[in-house]
Structures are given as structure tokens and as C-alpha cells.
Amino acid sequence: MAFDIDFLLKEIAGSPYGEYIVAFLVFIAAAVALKVFKHIIVQHLMRIAKKTKTELDDVIIRSIDSIGWPLYMILPLYIASQSLKMPEMLSSVLYLSILVTVTYYVVRGLQKLTDYAVGKMIKERLREEKQTDTSVIDLLGKLVKIFVWVLAVFFILTNLGYDITPMIAGLGVGGIAIAFALQNVLSDIFASFSIYFDKPFRVGDFIVIGNDSGIVKKIGIKSTRIQTLQGQELIVSNKELTESRINNYKRMERRRIVFTFGVTYSTTVKKLRKINSIVKDIIGKIENTDLDRVHFKNFGDFSLIYEVVYFVNSGDYNVYMDVQQKINLTIKERFEKEDIEMAFPTQTVYVHS
């Protein structure tokens, strides 16, 4: 039976039957190639990725593996249709389908990479601070995802031939109006980013802001909560914190202490000279302390004033108070043994007759 070559030359919708047969074969070949890619190559890459130390390659391969059947159907159909003379509307629909589908899966992949990056940042932060608040990182991840979707929409509109310049200008004007309306809220949000990245303090740090002081309990998106020494919770906006001078005592590794005491004017010079060696001996025997100096400072109104300067090798306030208490008790005990009288605010009035 002779093959009728004229059959291949017959046209339908502007394309010969032969081109439809070629397009069908291209469609089958492309579909099979994508099927092999998904079920053989991707699975092999996934097994290799599991053996590596980094998790980034696992995320990328899983993103590729999660691509669904719409792309595997539309992409071969689009490739096969390139050799056919299709109606303009049908061609536009097919182009829009492939454009939207590819963009969708690319955005999904970028979102998974964002989730991976955010999760890694949260793990690192929790490793540093077990009680830290991660809402700032979560917000940053959500903003990145929204930004990716906005870029995807602009990309699709641009490829469809739309001029997005007026739209961007409109969004700019609208963004300025929203920024003015929410300037206080946005200031606090950006301040929270500044606190997160600059890390002037962390959860658990003891800080002093002006006349207020306390332990940082939570660093939120808009405000920071501080437990004061009196017990109440102080809520301070993040903007106020970034604009204030903050004393962070948790970062203190060494505390410098200056204290004074007085002895009576009746104390002899011999005993006054001995006081220096007594104080040096006392502080020298206490752990985590380094003596700087001991001096007979000046003649006070009611006593002879001594000034002592030493260091406590800890930023913990309770440790400092324990050390100071031990020093005070030991000084009092040694002075009693040496018959050195400590002064108190009294005045002796001498009357000459």
C-alpha cells in the first residue's frame, strides 16, 4: 500500500498534517525527557545531597522535586507548539500559561530558600540565647516573600507587554502616604531590625535607660519588655531604645568599686599607717578581687577619710555585694582587734572658759 505523501501536505488551522505529527513527536520526547529528569536524575541528585554536610543543596533539590505536573505538561506542549501556526489567541493563552507556571515554581523555590535562611538564623539565635524572641526574623522572612511575589507580578506584566512604570509610580505615591500614616509604627519596626543586627542588648541582660533599669524579658517587633527591680513590667518602644543611651551591665566583665570609710580623729598616726596594710591584706585574700589602691584621702568634718579602690572580676551585682559585705565585716572585725575606732557623724564642741 503506497503512502500518500499528499496527506502530510494537507493543512488544518494553517499548518500541514506533517507538522502536527512532528509537533506530537516533539511533545512526547519532551515529556519523556522531563519524566526521566524528575524520576531518575532528580532522585539521584537527592541521594547525593543527603550525603553532604550542608542542607542548602537538599533544599534546592527538594524545590526542584516539588515541581508538579502542570509544568511537565505545559512545557512540552509549549515546545511542540513552536513549529505550528496557531491562532493568535491560542498562542497567547499558551504563552501566558507557561509564563505564569514557570514564575510560580520559581517563586516557590525562592520562598523555600527564604524559609531555610530564616530557620537557620533562628537556630543560630536560639543557640546564642535560648529565650530570645524571633518575631523580628519571622517578619523579615515574610517581607522578603512579599517582595518576591511583587517582583514576580511585575515580571509577568512586563513580559505580557504592559508598561509597569505608572504602576510603580502609583505604588511609590501610595507607599509614601502609608509611610506617613504609619511612621511611628514603621520607626519601631525598623528600630527592631537595628536592635537585632546591632545587638546592643539581649534577652536576659540587665540594662539602665535613664532613670529606669531592669532585665530584658522580650524584644518584640514594636517594643521591648523590661522587668524592673521593683517587679513591674516596663514597656519601651524600640525607637526610644535606639535613640537612648543604654548601660548594659550584663556585658560587664569587671566591676570597679570605690568606697570610703572613716576613723576618729583620736586615732594615732601609727594606727593610721597600719590601716593601709590591713585593708590590703583583707582584699588580697578574697577571691575574684584585685586591689587597686588604699589611701588616707582627706580630713573630713567628722572623721579621717580613707578611700579604697578595687575590682571585682564579675559583672554580677550579687557577686559584688557579697564581696563588699565580706570586706566590710572583715574590716570591722580587724579594727576591733586593733582597737581602731570607726567614726560616725558626731561633733565634739570644745568650750574655752
Q: How far apart are CA 135 and CA 338, in angstroms?
A: 62
Give all domains of the chain, ordered by start, each with its CATH number: 5-129+138-157 (no CATH), 192-248 (2.30.30.60), 255-337 (3.30.70.100)
Assess whether pLDDT exceeds 70 at residue 61. yes
pLDDT (0 to 100) of residue 7: 46
pLDDT (0 to 100) of residue 134: 66
pLDDT (0 to 100) of residue 135: 66
pLDDT in tens, 186-195: 677 778 777 7
202 sits in the region (left: phi over 0; alpha: psi -120 to 50; else beta) called beta
Is pLDDT larger for residue 266 or for residue 348? 266
pLDDT band, residue 40 (cuts 50/70/90): confident
What percentage of the chain carries pLDDT values higher than 70? 80
Q: What is the mean pLDDT of the chain?
A: 79
pLDDT in tens, 256-288: 999 999 999 999 999 999 999 999 999 999 988
- CA-based angle 107:113:118, to the nearest 5? 125
Is pLDDT larger for residue 113 or for residue 26? 113
pLDDT in tens, 89-135: 777 778 888 888 888 888 888 888 888 888 887 777 667 666 566 66
Strand partners, 221: none
Q: How far apart are CA 188 and CA 196, in angstroms?
A: 12
Give 232-237's long-range contacts (Cβ < 8 A, gap of 24+): 236/209, 236/212, 237/188, 237/191
Compute the CA torsion angle 263, 266, 270, 275 (nearest 10 deg): -10
Q: How far apart are CA 219 and CA 201, in angstroms?
A: 9
Which burial class, exposed, middle or buried, applies to 327 when counting CB atoms under 10 A from its CB (0-12, 13-18, 19+)?
Answer: buried
